[in-house]
Structure 1
Amino acid sequence: MKSTIAAALAAIALSATPATAQEADMNEATPYDISVHDDALAIEPTQMLNLGSAHFSGWREFVNREELDMALAPVLDRLEAWGPDTITVEAISGADCDQLERYGTFYAGAADTYCVTISEAAAHGDMSREDANIAAMETFLSGGPGDDPAARRNYVAQLMAAGEIYSALLQWRYLDPAERIAGEEVSQGMIDSLERFDARLKESVSIGVALAQRLGHERVWQVDDHSADMLYLRNADGFGERMREIWSSGSTEGREMYAGLMAKVQQDRDLTAFLIAMNDPEAQRLTIEGDFAKGLADTDERGIGQDYANWWQVRNMRMVANIVAAASLNRSQKTLNIVGASHKAYYDYYLDTMHHVELVDVGDILSQ
């Protein structure tokens, strides 16, 4: 159910003396509660399930890809039963990577860290990233490549040159193994890149792409955003050192909670229980208190902790905007958003303000 700002403010006003209420009115603006218009929505809202996950790339020491996929099978079964028609993952879209590369200094070199290399795909198909994105979107809006293997390989090439690697991998998986061949549409180097990417320990692959394949989706939507990284620029030299100081201060309950969950999942391989626990409101509270809330409380005159907290908010707002855009473009009835668990509470909070969104509880879906 949507949070109602107006109702909360009314309750405060009723309990206040006239003088107190008048003083509050003078010193604090009262926002207009746009949620009162949710009832005017002429269609069913999009159900959104925000699945906060660990980043499996850090699990190499105790699990391999085959073991990970086996442990995730019950999770995929439950998510498949829920039946999302749109899946988003924590990766930057090709179009946004284009901006990060064009203005690289502004974004502290984020493109080098977070964007996939497209040079071979662009050269093989003689496509710029811009042209490839346009071509791939046109193919998507026209209903996909159809059943012709050559058309699907060409779509894979478009998606790779566009920087949409998860969608490219999804389309590649749809091909019969005998049709996964180098030639006019894709080069052997492109195939090697796809196979290396497919072998990674990555929640966006083992949950996102795998579930999209089960459900027959045309795309996996990349919604991450690092344009907010420009907020690091004012204090670039001292940022890392100060943030380590901030993180090491105060309560360690969040780290202890996560360490306990990690120790348990390493032993029992119960990823269903692990993900339910990671998405629990109490786990989310401890995560925020051990991280972003410490940034908010930073009194250092350089404002590094404040920059960090603002960066996190701006990043998540832009990610949520990308989610809403993908859901709208896809006319989504049910959207699954797979993201690092520290984003979960911010996803829930910001998406809960949207007219077209109804949040779904992770525990309700994964416990079935």
Structure 2
Amino acid sequence: MIRRIGSMFILGLCSASALAAGPGYRPTFHPEQLKGPPAGRPNHVLVLGSPHLSALPDSFAPAQLEPLLGRLAAWKPEAIAVEAVSGLQCDFMRRHPARYADSVGSYCVDTGPAQAATGLDVPAANAEAERLLAAWPATPSAAQRRRLAAVWLAAGERNSALVQWLRLPIGQRIAADGLSEQLVAYLDKRLQRRDESVLVAATLAARLGLERVWAVDDHTADSPTPKALEKAAGEAIAKAWDNPYTRARAAADIPLHADLGKPDGLLAIYRAYNAADAALQAYHSDFGAALVEPSPQGFGRGYVGYWETRNLRMVANIRDVLGQAPGMRMLAIVGASHKPYYEAYLNQMHDLQLVDADDVLR
């Protein structure tokens, strides 16, 4: 993340007096105070701040997610959004390698094998997936599910492909209908990943009878740090992060990780990460600390600019999905540090009501 702040360092040229200035002009228009009511069902969004499961101790096992999955299923979301970059955005970033080569390598799947199997590039596969879903039968055949899984892979939507794979009986998870042996092996291997997009989102979507998940992450604000500034930028941000709030958050994780083996051990982590006081703790340890770090280049301010831009675009992607079918219940699963920004920005939307995660996770 640090390496992507470099192009923003010019923000540091702003004067220190400007940073210390008062609040200045305040607009009189407050969209968050102008909520509906809509003519039909409201849009409800439950933001679930998640640990990255890949970072949990070795004592983590997928079965520990069952208490969480049961509570989320009982809430009955009709759409699930995940912290993943869409195939269409990856296709865009691949066309701009000077800026996004690192991001493509980190966040985008190689769609070459699926394109070879289906004959579809990323834009064509996305269009084909939408065409298939528009005429999707109530009881699709195994062949139709395999075909849609192959198309989702070609579209760069691997988590949606997994939803179709999970909805197939194990005996029907075979190489056919556009799925090559290589793609089957890829799907089977991905099912074993310690990834909340797989073990929570795709798993829950399949259980609820959904046909896809929505990739709403955004990395178009990424940019490489100039080589000459990498060391200084890294040191400035690391120094900002070395603070009592960061240490307190790390200390709070120790007993939570130690209790993973208990029946509700992982649920306790989710409850803690979604608690009301977690938002300010995350801010003070990370973004608030970076905002005031004193480097002349304004490395911290550049990082915060990247972070705010990313979250704004992620929320815009969520709002786009909600606008396609008003009256939706959406579960938005995202890394816990994103949750307060998601909720703050989503709350500004006229036709959207937030759901308290604490009520769902009890």
TM over 0.5: yes
**Residue 329 of structure 2: aligned partner:** 334
Correspondent of 1:244 among 234, 238, 244: 238
Alpha-carbon distance, 1:82 to partner: 0.8
Aligned 8 A contact 1:47 1:335 in 2? yes
**Residue 362 of structure 1: aligned partner:** 357
**Residue 109 of structure 2: aligned partner:** 116
- Residue by residue over 1:96-151, the C-alpha shift from the partner in whole angstroms, topping out at 9 and shown as x without a partner, is 11112111222352010011121101111111111111111222233369522222
Q: Which secondary structure does the structure 2 equivalent of 1:137 belong to?
A: helix
Deviates more, 1:159-168 or 1:138-147: 138-147
Aligned 8 A contact 2:51 2:336 in 1? yes
**Residue 45 of structure 2: aligned partner:** 48
**Residue 299 of structure 2: aligned partner:** 304
Amino acid in the other structure paired with 1:45: P
- Residue by residue over 1:161-208, the C-alpha shift from the partner in whole angstroms, topping out at 9 and shown as x without a partner, is 001001101101112222222135110000000011111111111110
Alpha-carbon distance, 1:315 to partner: 0.6
Aligned 8 A contact 2:143 2:176 in 1? no
**Residue 28 of structure 1: aligned partner:** 25
**Residue 323 of structure 1: aligned partner:** 318
**Residue 219 of structure 1: aligned partner:** 212
Aligned 8 A contact 1:235 1:304 in 2? no
- Residue by residue over 1:260-315, the C-alpha shift from the partner in whole angstroms, topping out at 9 and shown as x without a partner, is 43334366652222211111121221111100101111221111100111111111
**1: CA distance, partners of 2:299 / 2:56:** 30
Q: Which secondary structure does the structure 1 equivalent of 2:58 belong to?
A: coil
Correspondent of 1:93 among 69, 81, 86: 86
**2: CA distance, partners of 1:79 / 1:261:** 21
Aligned 8 A contact 1:86 1:332 in 2? no
**2: CA distance, partners of 1:165 / 1:333:** 23
**Residue 158 of structure 1: aligned partner:** 151
- Residue by residue over 1:49-72, the C-alpha shift from the partner in whole angstroms, topping out at 9 and shown as x without a partner, is 100011011225222xxxx33211
Deviates more, 1:196-205 or 1:100-109: 100-109
Amino acid in the other structure paired with 2:309: V
Say if 1:46 and 1:168 are closer, same or farther in 2 by CA, change over 3 A. Answer: same
Are residues 1:294 and 2:289 paired?
yes
Deviates more, 1:137-146 or 1:348-357: 137-146
Question: Which sections of structure 1, spanning at least 5 residues, go unmatched?
Answer: 1-23
Aligned 8 A contact 2:45 2:352 in 1? yes
Amino acid in the other structure paired with 2:59: F
**Residue 143 of structure 1: aligned partner:** 136
Aligned 8 A contact 1:51 1:344 in 2? yes
**2: CA distance, partners of 1:235 / 1:359:** 44
Deviates more, 1:99-108 or 1:72-81: 99-108
Q: Which secondary structure does the structure 2 equivalent of 1:291 belong to?
A: helix
**TM-score, scaled relative to structure 2:** 0.87
Say if 1:345 and 1:235 are closer, same or farther in 2 by CA, change over 3 A. Answer: farther
Q: Which secondary structure does the structure 2 equivalent of 1:52 belong to?
A: strand
**Residue 5 of structure 1: aligned partner:** none
Say if 1:299 and 1:31 are closer, same or farther in 2 by CA, change over 3 A. Answer: farther
Correspondent of 1:104 among 97, 103, 113: 97
Question: Which sections of structure 2, spanning at least 5 residues, go unmatched?
Answer: 1-20
Amino acid in the other structure paired with 1:318: R
Amino acid in the other structure paired with 1:51: L
Q: How much identity, in percent, do the aligned residues show?
A: 35
Say if 1:190 and 1:243 are closer, same or farther in 2 by CA, change over 3 A. Answer: same
Q: Which has the larger radius of gyration?
A: 1
**TM-score, scaled relative to structure 1:** 0.86
Deviates more, 1:281-290 or 1:81-90: 281-290
Say if 1:217 and 1:30 are closer, same or farther in 2 by CA, change over 3 A. Answer: same
Say if 1:51 and 1:323 are closer, same or farther in 2 by CA, change over 3 A. Answer: same
**2: CA distance, partners of 1:243 / 1:108:** 23
**Residue 65 of structure 2: aligned partner:** 72
Q: Which secondary structure does the structure 1 equivalent of 2:82 belong to?
A: strand
Amino acid in the other structure paired with 1:173: L
Correspondent of 2:265 among 262, 270, 278: 270
- CA-based RMSD: 2.4
Alpha-carbon distance, 1:250 to partner: 5.2
**2: CA distance, partners of 1:25 / 1:246:** 24
Deviates more, 1:107-116 or 1:225-234: 225-234
Alpha-carbon distance, 1:240 to partner: 2.5
Aligned 8 A contact 1:108 1:229 in 2? no
